[in-house]
Structure 1
Amino acid sequence: MKKLNLTRRNARLTLCAIALLALQGCTSYVSKGIADDGKTAAELVFQPLTDAWQPEGIFPNKDNLRAVRPGMSKDQLYDLIGRPHFNEGLVAVREWDYSFHFRTGGGAVSCRYKVLFDRDYRAQSFHWEPSACASFIAEPPLAAPVAPVPAPIPKAIQLSADALFAFDRAALQDLLPSGRRELDRIAVVLGGAKVEHVRIVGHTDRLGAVAYNQQLSEARAATVRAYLIGAGVPGERLAASGRGAREPVVQCQQAQRDDLIACLAPNRRVEIVVKALDENTR
């Protein structure tokens, strides 16, 4: 009986020795002296392609390769770049090897890729053979910011006096909300533009006395100038004047007064005429 037990014990020892030798055979090509933190190795070993179970390699997804980061688990790496292409061992494996190909203008380039793991089997360092292969997954350069194209400076802007002011009014407090919004928009354009000067010209319709219309047109132009200055446009660029009813844009002959007033509306206006700095060179 003792002899039988001794035989069994020797058989188990023999099997263990064979298993150990097998494991050693499976790990004969692993890198030497991988640091506990997985960031370095005394000697990196890239196995020959003849030892790969998938010697033809693959064309990897570059975005997935760029997403590989230190600290990833083996499952996370598997999801991104697949299983390794070589058999580094059966137990306690702390490196994975891949054979990748990248397309170029002159064909395809073959590269080797190695991942080293720390003692907790978290990926920590990544290596290429040849090292220049790392350039294939370098982040593409950011496009240079495109300078915004400045909006063209309008040569002339016509504003309806009926939209700017209350009826027969010209003071700053008489500006309507719609007129203030329009002047705010114009102030932004003029404030950021290269402008030599701006002429603000008030016009009226032909109804009423000539002297009164002249005074009304001047007052409205002056109010628009004051508003633009208050909105940030340099005052030295702005000049205001009035033309009364001398420069109509429409002629009307309606017999009914209300119809005539409506027809003459385009004549009741404030014009803003802009001269840009570069116009003198044209």
Structure 2
Amino acid sequence: MKNLKKWSAVFSVAGLTVAGISLATTVVADDFANVEVPASGLNERFQRYGAVVPVNSLQLVGYGAGKLTKQDVTELLGVPNDSLATEQDNSWQYNVNLPLNDEDYLVCQYQVSFTQQILVSSEWRRPQCNRLFSELSQHAPPQILSFSADFLFEFDSYALSSQGRRELQQAVQDAQASLGGRSVLVTGHADQIGSAEYNMHLSEQRAKAVVEALIQGGGNPEKITYVGRGENDSIVSCPGLVGVSLKECLAPNRRVDILFNRNT
């Protein structure tokens, strides 16, 4: 969603990989409706009022294309600005206050679009809003922790191992202590072994188990969102392999990603 400075820091902790990520630049929407009104005709109903939305929440929405549901977006951004928007609508619009300094802000229109209840894109109406958001985001680029599901769980299970729970809690506590991040998106992933429906359920339950462990470790439940992606977003494919060889080859696809930001 943003044009961030590229940076990364990678290290391993018992099956854990940590890496900084940069997000794709937002495409400014061309399909926002424009209303032509003479300046003399502007009145109260044409004045735009925005909501204060944490920058990290907007970052999570930008990262969440193909992952977040309408409910997830509502939890991050609130209800759409248009009071007539419904759960069935595929596009929602928000008026967002982006800070310019300690006292002033720029009211920007922000649109999110869905296909079959899943977020597919997000964009700012004006280039100046996109630039301002990029500048704000550069102060706190999001960080992602990626855990091997084979380290956290037994195969075909969503019960966290004792060792996996300890390492998970410690790694997240250490990362948050250094980054100061409090908003978290947990995404579960599965491999292609088994049916798509079963893999989606397994990835959701694994993400939920990680969230519960983070909360037990002191995480704020109001700041944690989770989603399952099943066998989507695969890292590797293993054509021609079967049995144990296939399971071992597909291991990178079995993972849990935790995304969080410096901003509160």
Shorter-chain TM-score: what band? 0.3 to 0.5
- Which protein has the larger Cα radius of gyration, Structure 1 or Structure 2? 1
- Normalised by the length of structure 1, the TM-score is 0.41
- Normalised by the length of structure 2, the TM-score is 0.44
Question: Which structure carries more relative contact order (alpha carbon 8 Å, separation 6+)?
Answer: 2
